[in-house]
Amino acid sequence: MTALFRLLKIIRVGARYRLDLLLDSAQQPWWLRSAKPLLWLFPKGELNRGQRLRHALEELGPIFVKFGQLLSTRPDLVPQDIVKELNHLQDNVAPFNQAEFQKIVESALGQPVEELFAEFSCEPLASASVAQVHTAKLKSGEEVVVKAVRPGIENTINEDIALLFRLASLVERFSADGRRLRPVEVVEDYQHTILNELNLQMEAANACQLRRNFENSPMLYVPRVHWEFCRQNVMVMERIYGIPVTDIEQLEAQNTDMKRLAERGVDIFFRQVFEDNFFHADMHPGNIFVARENPKQPKYIAVDMAIVGSLNREDQYYLARNMLAIFRRDYRQVAELHVQCGWVPADTPIGEFENAIRSVCEPIFEKPLAEISFGQVLIQLFQTARRFDMQVQPQLVLLQKTLLNIEGLGRQLYPDLDLWSTAHPYLERWLKDRFAPKALWQQFKRYAPEWMEKFPEIPELIYENLERQRLRPATQNIVKPEPKTRQGRYLWPIMGTACLLMAAGPALAAWSYQSLLLAVVGLALLWHR
């Protein structure tokens, strides 16, 4: 019943703001055209179409506001007048009562604001979909911002998530693409993400991690968190003074190197995804600023780390290799990698899949970003996915959303940015470093304690296995061997060789127990083949 009431509210808000006017008559579905006679009850008013959409999204709550934030970064897909209005959703959502904000802060921190801060502003600095921010000054004189979660927002989010789950279940059950799109898993992932936004202590921890990752970096600055003032619904952090990344006039007025700024944005993204494996996944323009110092070597400032993402090692590896194969126009390898990582079925015809990928990717090369619409590319890839039963990967949804935001920012900062030539050498270097002896040795040192803990059990396991083989009846031994897969054929020798190489590293200086153990394990793996 809760989901039904929420659905009715969405219909009512859409009718009140006459969102049907956003679509041409020819684009409207039959059921909307059938309901036209009832819409006379809702006058059109003085609002333009962008204002209608913005006010409707604000009234419907944070999930819809975030959808509007994403649309505002896509001027290639959304008309300019609508983008202009949706930009207000970045950090200009209607604020809630100021007295209520102060009450939330005092209740969370246990003291009046007069005792907590030397100064406290009652006027909001920014108001977003989930939280609101005010400025303050600590007793030490340091300027800070105070962030508090909107009251009652969790109930609205839970209602929306419940409705999304029901809609996703219907899609999965009745749609031909339901299994491939995996909508229920996508909603589960989104539920986890947006509920994390309600926990400001988690956001503070994310900010600290990102700050450590880019400590002393010339490319990105993350404000310092004041943990003594942080609770689940309240967070206090250093106040920053920067230029909003979309304020092109201010950036150009101080002679900012826009090309370097755009390239550094790409560098930051790839470093977060592939080196740190911890990326800011809510990089809409309202969360990104540019430092005023040294405009010839521009530096980003990031805020609002409520949503972060990471990939497992396998996804990192396949993603990097896929992108490199696309850069090299090796579409055969792209098709094979999709099969190897399980993104498309194993029986996919490689030749046909290769040709389909070529038809999508080939037009995007050797063009400036201004001439490339990744939105159109995504639409074509979706059509390709329908043909080859490519499944949605929920673990990559956040990354895909971040890529959309990055493209939107790149278009506004430096339309002639060559994204491919910027990313290509980075990925080449990352893959080379990933399998360098030093990197392999670091991985071994990380997992060696677990291996050593289990090593004493290996002789007993080998003995038990051999004993079972000896006692097995002869008739059971006559079994047609299963064909080895490509991965299985090479797995053991690769692992064995890697262990021997890592053993040789410390062995060059002086033999140690760890070196001997590695050598024994490597020889055992080679023998296993």
Q: Which residues of 519-529 are buried (b: 16+ CB within 10 A; e: fewer)?
A: bebbeebbeee
Tokens of 208: 């600290």
pLDDT digits (tens, 9 = 90+) for 266-292: 889 889 988 898 999 888 777 899 999
| Residue closest to 251 by CA, chosen among 240, 262, 236, 267 | 262
342: enclosing H helix or E strand: none
User: Could you give the CA distance from residue 92 to residue 86 in angstroms, rounded to a whole number?
Assistant: 10
Q: What are phi and psi of 144, to 5 degrees?
A: -135, 170
| 418 within 8 A of 368, measured Cβ to Cβ | yes
What was the pLDDT predicted at 483? 44
Mean pLDDT along residues 200-208 = 95
Portion of the chain with pLDDT greater than 90, in percent = 25
Domain ranges of the chain: 2-89, 154-193, 250-434, 437-470+485-528
Distance of CA 470 to the CA centre of its chain: 53
User: Could you give the CA distance from residue 153 to residue 150 in angstroms, rounded to a whole number?
Assistant: 6
130: enclosing H helix or E strand: none
pLDDT digits (tens, 9 = 90+) for 400-436: 777 777 777 877 888 877 776 777 788 888 888 876 6
Q: CA of 247: how far to CAs of 111, 126, 253, in Å?
A: 38, 16, 10
* Residues in Cβ contact with 121 at an 8 Å cutoff, skipping those fewer than 6 apart: 134, 135, 136
Q: Which residue has the higher pLDDT, 52 or 207?
A: 207
Give the pTM.
0.70
E strand segments, 303-450: 308-309
Mean pLDDT along residues 379-385 = 65
Distance of CA 386 to the CA centre of its chain: 23
Mean pLDDT along residues 12-17 = 79
Query: C-alpha angle with apex 114: 108 to 120, nearest 5 degrees?
Result: 85
Portion of the chain with pLDDT greater than 70, in percent = 69
Mean pLDDT along residues 28-40 = 60
pLDDT digits (tens, 9 = 90+) for 86-129: 877 766 677 888 899 999 999 999 999 999 999 999 999 988 77
What was the pLDDT predicted at 243? 95
Q: Does 526 have pLDDT greater than 60?
A: no
| 290 within 8 A of 256, measured Cβ to Cβ | yes
Mean pLDDT along residues 440-466 = 69
Kindly indicate the confidence band of residue 18, based on its pLDDT and cuts at 50, 70 and 90. confident
Mean pLDDT along residues 471-490 = 50
Long-range contacts of 255-259 (CB under 8 A, 24+ apart): 255/295, 255/296, 256/290, 256/295, 256/296, 256/298, 257/295, 257/296, 257/297, 257/298, 258/413, 258/414, 259/414, 259/416, 259/417
Unique residue bearing structure tokens 């809702």: 42
Kindly indicate the confidence band of residue 372, based on its pLDDT and cuts at 50, 70 and 90. low
What was the pLDDT predicted at 480? 46
What was the pLDDT predicted at 411? 75
Positions marked catalytic:
282
- 178 by DSSP, 3-state: which? helix
